[in-house]
Chains A and B, each alone.
Chain A
């Protein structure tokens, strides 16, 4: 899943969605995560990088990642797919 082209991410954690006009605020870890997602890395590789770097266990990381990911979808930062597609 890709971050849509209209999204601009600044290094201070400011995110602007030029499609909707909404802007967002990221905490530092959120910023790091969104950058990796923007590079189109899959969850596995993101998790490995983060577990290496941060003091966190894999289940917490997984839970937080998916919550964050759901929020990105909710805010239309990640392209929507049909949630009733049951793929």
Chain B
């Protein structure tokens, strides 16, 4: 006689009447494969934990964004936000799709150059640009987005030293109805600071003003805020023409589109409430087209969206290390991926899913990472089925920021794998080892 299927015995307290955020347990979703490759196979080949990036998803998401804008506005150019994910393999998929590069440091600038991006297709943002960085950018004819007056004067000085011209835009901060206003970056629109900066630039003989840039915030859930921003930049665009008889080449609305992740504190899942590319594109295109700008002088629209283009393409595969009970009787689980790899877990309730059919008995649980640190919590409350040591789990929507903001802390950073369009997996960043980390350290000679 064959034996019956075993399931871990569980007893859970019924909380009477108290509003329970979870209500009736929902059906458990399972992620058993990524782009056709079974999760166990990926972990057998590349270890645990392991980041997996789907090239297909990147290209599909990019195509969706591109379609949303190009069907509404005549001239659109995306620039890949390096800081969101600057693994070369990821950047090169975006460049292959036609994206320029948007960088915020000398390091990222050099990375873009080494990826074969032409200097004139690099947008150089951010408050940190040294004379060395500016020299590099001027020599490569990049679009330099000036952040503050000190940078403006340093740039004028650098162009004089080099006796070369620089192509510039300014970053503008403005009130688009979004709180907090990011007024720490760029020149303010409402108090006239931006207009002053433009006037100074237009007088500088070595600076060629070619665009206007703003970036209103991050994870913006209201598409209409972009319309406000686009309208204000359009006003500046026309003011420059009226005063200087000069048409700028582009308006850059930056990034900040929400991804489908659910923010902590949000009531409904992000996948249902975050605006679609169509909604963002509609708001932005309408605002520029219905501004005073004559049709034949419409600027190229630059978009630097990062998170919304790559978050969905990234997965983190992880293994259950232990199940525990807290002194309160609460179920807790330890997995082998912690906050050292998942920076975004500080603001998202990341989705964690089993990779195979599991027990139907779910229980409110806390999921801890493996670090010997109290802050290492991946989910403080999630309804999760019973699982055993060694069970393989998938954390979804981790393609943005995690692979740049991760920390080498306590342990090595794992392999990053990309699955290509043919469904083949390739390591695109090797797991660290003792030698690679020690190579930066220098012993003191006695």
Residues of A with Cβ closer than 8 Å to B?
15, 22-30, 32-34, 53-56, 60, 64-65, 67-68, 70-72, 74-75, 77
Interface size class of B (residues with CB under 8 A): 20 to 34
B21 contacts A by Cβ under 8 Å: no
Given known A-B contacts A25-B14, A27-B359, A30-B10, A75 and B5 have beta carbons under 8 A apart: no
B contact residues around A27 at 8 Å (CB)? 7-10, 359-361
Query: CB < 8 Å: which of A24, A28, A74 contacts B7?
Result: A28
User: Using Cβ atoms and an 8 Å threshold, which residues of chain A touch B16?
Assistant: 23
Interface residues of B in 1-42 (CB under 8 A from A): 2-14, 16
**Do A53 and B388 have beta carbons less than 8 Å apart?**
no
Output the least CB separation between B149 and chain A (Å): 64
State which of B2, B9, B13, B329 has its C-beta within 8 Å of the C-beta of A29: B9
Q: Residue of A at shortest CB range from B359?
A: A27
Residues of A close to B13: CB separation below 8 A: 22-25, 75
Within the complex, what minimum Cβ distance (angstroms) separates A66 from chain B?
Answer: 11
Other contacts beyond A67-B323, A68-B9: 5, CB < 8 A: A25-B14, A27-B8, A27-B361, A54-B4, A54-B6
Query: Distance in Å from the Cβ of B359 to the closest Cβ of chain A?
Result: 7
Interface of A is mostly: helix
Question: A-B pairs with the 4 shortest C-beta distances?
Answer: A30-B9, A56-B6, A55-B3, A27-B361
Task: Find chain A residues with CB under 8 A from B264 CB.
Answer: none
Q: How far is the CA of A33 from the CA of B14 in the complex (A)?
A: 19
| Residue among B10, B13, B323, B388 facing the most chain A CB atoms (10 A cut-off) | B10
Q: How far is the CA of A65 from the CA of B8 in the complex (A)?
A: 9
Complex CA distance for A83 and B329, rounded to whole angstroms: 16
Q: Which residue of A lies closest to B388 (CB)?
A: A60
| A54-B325 contact in complex given A23-B16, A24-B14, C-beta closer than 8 Å | no
How many whole Å from B154's CB to the nearest CB in chain A? 64
Residues on B with C-beta less than 8 A from A25 are: 11-14
CA distance A22 to B13 in the complex (A): 7
- Evaluate contact between A23 and B14: CB separation under 8 angstroms: yes
User: Could you list some 6 contacts between A and B, CB below 8 A?
Assistant: A23-B16, A27-B360, A54-B4, A55-B3, A67-B323, A74-B325
Q: Determine whether the beta carbon of A53 is less than 8 Å from that of B4.
A: yes
Question: A-facing mask of B55-93, CB < 8 A → 1, else 0?
Answer: 000000000000000000000000000000000000000
Q: Which of B6, B323, B329, B360 has the most CB of A within 10 A?
A: B6
The chain A residue sitting closest to B4, CB to CB, is A54
Q: With contacts A54-B3, A71-B329 known, is A26 near B388, CB below 8 A?
A: no
Closest to A16 in B: B14
Of the candidates A22, A24, A29, A67, which one forms a contact with B325 in the assembled complex, judged by CB atoms under 8 Å apart?
A67
- Once the chains bind, are A75 and B8 in contact (CB under 8 Å)? no
A23-B14, A23-B16, A60-B388 known; A65+B9 contact, CB < 8 A: yes
In the complex, what distance in Å separates the CA atom of A41 from the CA atom of B359? 26
Nearest chain B residue, comparing its CB with the CB of A14: B14
User: With the chains together, A65 CA to B10 CA distance in Å?
Assistant: 10
User: How far apart are the CA atoms of A80 and B16 in the complex, in Å?
Assistant: 24
User: Please, how many angstroms separate the alpha-carbon atoms of A21 and B321 in the complex?
Assistant: 35
